[in-house]
Amino acid sequence: MSLPRFRPTGGAPAHEQIERWLARTVDSGRLVPGDRLPAERELAQRLGVSRMTLRRALDTLERQGRVRRVIGRSGGTFVEAPPRVECDLTTVVGFTETVRRAGLAAGAVVVEAERVRAPRPVAVALGLGHGQSAVSVVRVRSAGGEPVALEHSWFPAGLLPGLLQHPLDGSLYALLHEAYDRRPTHADEALEPVVADTDEAALLEVAPGSPLMRIERTAYDRGGTPVEFARDLFRGDRSRFVLRSTLTP
């Protein structure tokens, strides 16, 4: 099996670098689902790491659904098709609950959170007057430890006082419900295929130009008040969108 060279760098632990190296190898097509990796001893020698370090990396990749280990004479470590997060557009469900339904652990890294003067499209969507403020929150969302989406949400600052004082690394919809009794119940959404620019690619750990799905959303509470305007970018290789409809005779 011809594998690309592993070039460790300073900074991240070796096992994390191996995880990213193997993920990139699969994403590039050098490895495909069903391929069997070399035996642990051989692979560790190729990579120049201890078997313990390699096993730690493989443990994480197995939890992420990237590889599957089979015990027995015909066993080994096999490449798995990467799991996709299925987003049901029929109902308003936050990312955390969507990922939980897929049997994966949801994560969030806050890239930016600040109070800003609402840009015109945001002000129009949220029903804000000229010069009114919004809370801007940018987060990278992960499923099973792997980046899946880049979220940029704006919230009406006057309607949700003190929002920035709350933890923002969990479900924001749960926060709106529990802290403000403003749980989103319905939304207008528009989907558009786009490609990742350099900054987006770096945050989502994909190559620039990779396919993404952009979802523009305005979410409303039960009284019809807009509580969020968002532009989310989902990795095309880690997400799937479904819409369930009822046909009228």
- Region 132-160: what's the mean pLDDT? 92
The answer to whether residues 66 and 82 touch, using CB atoms and an 8 Å cutoff, is yes
Is the pLDDT reported for residue 93 higher than 70? no
Provide the mean pLDDT of the chain.
86
**Domains in the chain, start-ordered, CATH in brackets?**
14-79 (1.10.10.10), 85-242 (3.40.1410.10)
3-state secondary structure of 242: strand
DSSP per residue, 79-139: E-PPP-EEEETTS---HHHHHHHTT--EEEEEEEEEEEEPPHHHHHHHTPPTT-EEEEEEE
pLDDT (average), residues 34-62: 89
If you average pLDDT over residues 36-57, what whole number do you get? 90
pLDDT at 10: 72
Predicted pLDDT of residue 137: 97
More confident call, 54 vs 30: 54
Residue 86 has pLDDT above 90, yes or no: no
**pLDDT, position 60:** 83
CB atoms near residue 169 (< 10 Å): 11
Contacts of 73 (CB under 8 A, 6+ apart): none
Amino acid at 210: S
- pLDDT, residue 176, reads 95
Overall average pLDDT of the 88-100 stretch: 68
pLDDT the model gives residue 102:
63
* Helix or strand holding residue 57 (H, E): helix 51-63
pLDDT grade for 6, boundaries at 50, 70 and 90: confident
Two tokens, residue 219: 């979410």
One-character DSSP codes across 165-223: GS--SS-HHHHHHHHHS----EEEEEEEEEE--HHHHHHHTS-TT-EEEEEEEEEE-TT
Say if residues 109 and 169 touch (Cβ distance below 8 Å): yes
Inform me whether the pLDDT recorded for 18 exceeds 80.
yes
